[in-house]
Structure 1
Amino acid sequence: MSNTQLTIHISRTSVHVAEVLRSNQEIIQQHHFELLEGTPDAYRRRLKEIFNSITTLQDEYPEYTMAWSTPKHTLVPLSVFNESSSKAVFQLMFGDALDERMIDFNRLMELNVVNVFEIPDWVKSFFIIKYPQIAFKHEHAMTLRALFQMGTFKRQITVSVNDEYVNITIIHKNELIFSNAFEYQTAEDILYNLLFVIEQEGLTNEEGSLSLYYTDDKTEDIAKQTYALVNQLKPLKSIKLNTIDSILKLQTLCV
């Protein structure tokens, strides 16, 4: 189909591949795989095996996008970034003295922020060779860009569930009010962090809607458990479920 997009969401522990219809964000086909490798070469070999095994993908797509998932990412104002460097920002936030080649960034000019993150070489090297025209960003940069293509005036709380962490984002009156990543093991962990954010932001007596995004069946189950807990406790004066949906669909809004 000429109106489809190949979307990929990858971390150190999993890779998710979906063919998405751009006109209505319908997923035509999707595939999910665990990654348990220990070396860069092992990751490349496993990814080659995975993509060779998916025989139903088209030979070519109009658009290719890839979202890299890691909890080691941060948002900084564009003005701060322009006076520093991605390596300096990353070391300040995480204390890790990584090789500069393992640090990347995405500018979000519409928000005047920059997303700085770590990304191992095997990710870039495999996908640039496999799909030379692929556009890749940190998954949170893609999510933010997609969210700001939607209605952003009313208060919107978004929880995007990745393998080992969630991003909690609050948008209100067309502005990014809050954004941070939190590690989790259970839905109760996500709820705890969400309640903490709501209290810290002084939103307990406010109204808002909640959207949750997932990558696969496992994270979808966690997302649904989280919403059930939120619906039970009602941490906001009035909160309604906006959507629980695949995060892979959002990539169609980022090209």
Structure 2
Amino acid sequence: MIKQIVKKKKTINKNIEATSNRKLSIQFSLDGFSFCISNTLHQVTEFSSFNFSETVNTPELVLEKLQEIFKTEKSLQDDFESVTVIHQNNLSTLVPNKYFKEDALNNYLKYSVKTIATDLIVYDELECIDTKNVYIPFVNINNFLFQNFGEFEYKHHSSILLEKLFSKSSASLHFYVNISHSIFDIVVIKDAKLLFYNIFEYQTKEDFIYYVLFTLEQLELNPEETIVSLLGDIDKESSLFKILYTYVRNIRFLPSKNTIFNDQTEIAKHSNFILLG
């Protein structure tokens, strides 16, 4: 039985003209699915997100949920000039270009990710940090999307996240936390260089604060002074924010300037950063 899918948000930007040459961007994880449609000027005209009532634990169950969404969501039944797919999971690792060998992809993942012989292992090019992002995409989802749209580009969510954060970061220290329902990313950038990146799984707020404080400690950063910028699925009323504020005094939300936010207040400007940031 497919567990409940909750359509959390849908926003249409009425101030921007939708054109026939549109781009579709899709992001999915074990927790949910979201997409946005943009025009030729890269302006987002429509955004929707769906939360799964419970985190699923296999790509097969994710596919079942996506198939159900595609049957009912008319916007996904249109034709698009281009399609970009973002795989959000913790099956990845960063490899500096000077150590990278294309015939050794499995070796880069085997110490941190449980792999099997049939796994497809691919990589994204991250020019902003002279690094490859090696990861496992969900092949069954790619196959389903290919049947719907034909050829498309796909990337790992952390590749998009890092590219966007580097484009926004100045020479000072930046400590970012990008939060999803069951995983979160910590990105630390200093002097326009990547100081730290990792993906953490969590189930409780205690798990969350442990990893944040552990990272601060390992990097010898003072939680009383370091500014922590929050992205994703968190607000001031959440248990994660409250426990974080107990230990970290300088917290801010990193807002997006995307015009989709101009005429509505339902979607927090720091949420859905990978798609809308």
Q: TM-score of the superposition, structure 1-length normalised?
A: 0.79
Among 194, 209, 221, the residue aligned to 1:203: 221
Q: Is 1:108 matched up with 2:131?
A: no
Q: Distance in 1 between matches of 2:223 and 2:62?
A: 47
Which position in structure 1 is the counterpart of 2:176?
Answer: 158
Checking the alignment, whether the CA contact within 8 Å between 2:33 and 2:51 is kept in structure 1 is yes
Which position in structure 2 is the counterpart of 1:250?
Answer: 274
Question: 3-state DSSP class of the match of 1:245?
Answer: coil
Q: Distance in 2 between matches of 1:73 and 1:123?
A: 17
Q: Distance in 2 between matches of 1:223 and 1:161?
A: 14
Q: Is 1:137 matched up with 2:149?
A: no
Q: Distance in 2 between matches of 1:205 and 1:153?
A: 20
Q: Is 1:78 matched up with 2:116?
A: no
Among 178, 182, 192, the residue aligned to 1:174: 192
Q: Distance in 2 between matches of 1:204 and 1:39?
A: 39
Deviates more, 1:77-86 or 1:142-151: 77-86
Counting matched residue pairs gives 244
Q: Distance in 2 between matches of 1:57 and 1:120?
A: 19
CA deviation digits over 1:152-185, x for unaligned, max 9? 3222211112332111110121111100111111
Question: What pairs up with 1:1-255 in 2 under 5 angstroms?
Answer: 1-2=18-19, 5-19=23-37, 28-34=46-52, 36=56, 40=60, 44-57=63-76, 59-82=78-101, 85-94=104-113, 96-99=114-117, 101-204=119-222, 207-214=225-232, 219-220=233-234, 224-234=238-248, 238-243=250-255, 245-247=270-272, 249-251=273-275
Checking the alignment, whether the CA contact within 8 Å between 1:20 and 1:29 is kept in structure 2 is no
Task: Give the superposition deviation at 1:29.
Answer: 3.0
CA deviation digits over 1:88-141, x for unaligned, max 9? 2112433x3423542221121221111112223202211222223432111111
Query: How well do the aligned residues superpose, as a CA RMSD in angstroms?
Result: 3.2
Task: Give the superposition deviation at 1:188.
Answer: 3.0
Instruction: Extract unaligned runs of 5+ from structure 2.
Output: 1-17, 256-268
Q: Percent identity?
A: 23
Deviates more, 1:147-156 or 1:166-175: 147-156
Structure-2 change in CA distance of 1:74 and 1:182 (3 Å) = same
Task: Give the superposition deviation at 1:27.
Answer: 6.9
Which AA in structure 2 matches 1:245? H
Structure-2 change in CA distance of 1:196 and 1:33 (3 Å) = closer
Structure-2 change in CA distance of 1:148 and 1:63 (3 Å) = farther
Task: Give the superposition deviation at 1:63.
Answer: 4.2
Q: Distance in 1 between matches of 2:39 and 2:270?
A: 15
Question: 3-state DSSP class of the match of 1:246?
Answer: coil
Task: Give the superposition deviation at 1:210.
Answer: 2.6
Checking the alignment, whether the CA contact within 8 Å between 1:191 and 1:229 is kept in structure 2 is yes
Structure 1 stretches of 4+ with a deviation exceeding 6 A read 21-25
Question: 3-state DSSP class of the match of 1:211?
Answer: strand
Which AA in structure 1 matches 2:254? N
Task: Give the superposition deviation at 1:38.
Answer: 5.9
